[in-house]
Amino acid sequence: EDQVTQSPEALRLQEGESSSLNCSYTVSGLRGLFWYRQDPGKGPEFLFTLYSAGEEKEKERLKATLTKKESFLHITAPKPEDSATYLCAVQGWNNAGNMLTFGGGTRLMVKP
Amino acid sequence: SAVISQKPSRDICQRGTSLTIQCQVDSQVTMMFWYRQQPGQSLTLIATANQGSEATYESGFVIDKFPISRPNLTFSTLTVSNMSPEDSSIYLCSVQLAIYGYTFGSGTRLTVV
């Protein structure tokens, strides 16, 4: 059974204070690792997909990296508008084909 | 990327009743997914709906409680049947497109009283 664990559960940062969010996973045959951002009352918004260890992707202040056991979402010089819940998910297999298994998420709050 | 419209966006329902949630996509997709997000929790997959076949349910979810329809390649419904307060959650529709990966609707916030 695929498992995804995110840490920390919650993170408070001052504006400009860089940090990293962790996503540890176990999956039988990783087909992709996804990062999403979710704002209150909204559905998850796609950020990145990573497919193989060593891969990195960047978007504005966010950078995602992947190893064989975990992924990191690095936030550089965050701003208050980066406050959201960040979700990690792995793509695996079920009887219907493929599926996403989500971690519990990290609630990020950036204070001005 | 795909645009997903979910209706209703929120509802308050009496226990014992049923609610049908609609999901409309602006592209033809083979697989549609229904998720539940309980308060303060992450997303849990309820079922996968392929057009032209019965939905495939994940462990802990059954068709009698969460019947799903998939009449064509752009539309699906999820019904939450015989509701109890424990069904109060956000229900999300998702699709997978080869180029854009997985896209989610804005969700239906259900409160059962």
3-state secondary structure A46-64: EEEEECCCCCEEEECCEEE
pLDDT for res A31: 85
Contact A42 B107 (CB under 8 A): yes
> What CATH number is given to the structural domain containing B83?
2.60.40.10
Please state the domain count of chain B. Answer: 1
Question: What's residue B99's pLDDT?
Answer: 60
- Is residue A31 a contact partner of residue A98, using CB atoms and an 8 Å limit? yes
CATH of the domain at A103: 2.60.40.10
pLDDT in tens, B5-38: 999 999 999 999 999 999 999 989 988 999 999 9
Range of the domain at A38: 3-111
Residues of chain B contacting A, Cβ within 8 Å: 1, 4, 31, 33, 41-45, 47-48, 50, 55-56, 58, 92, 94, 96, 100-107, 109
- Helix ranges (H only) for A16-106 are none
Low-confidence ranges of chain A (pLDDT < 50): none
Tell me, what's the pLDDT at A98?
Answer: 77
**pLDDT (tens digit per residue) in B29-74:** 988 999 999 988 889 999 999 888 889 999 999 999 999 999 999 9
pLDDT tens for B75-100 read: 999 999 999 999 999 999 999 876 66
pLDDT in the model for residue B74:
95
Contact predicate A108/A21, CB 8 Å: yes
Residue B64: both structure tokens together: 């009698």
Tell me how far CA of residue B91 lies from CA of A110, B3, B7, B15, B54, in angstroms: 28, 17, 10, 17, 20
CA distance A36 to chain B (A): 10
3-state secondary structure of B103: strand
In the block, tokens 């849990």 appear at B44
Ramachandran sector of residue B85 (left: φ over 0; alpha: ψ -120 to 50; beta: rest) = alpha
Give the up-direction half-sphere exposure of residue A105: CA atoms within 13 A in the CB hemisphere. 22
Q: Which domain holds residue B85?
A: 4-112
Cα–Cα separations (whole angstroms), residue A88 to A14, A17, B107 = 23, 22, 18
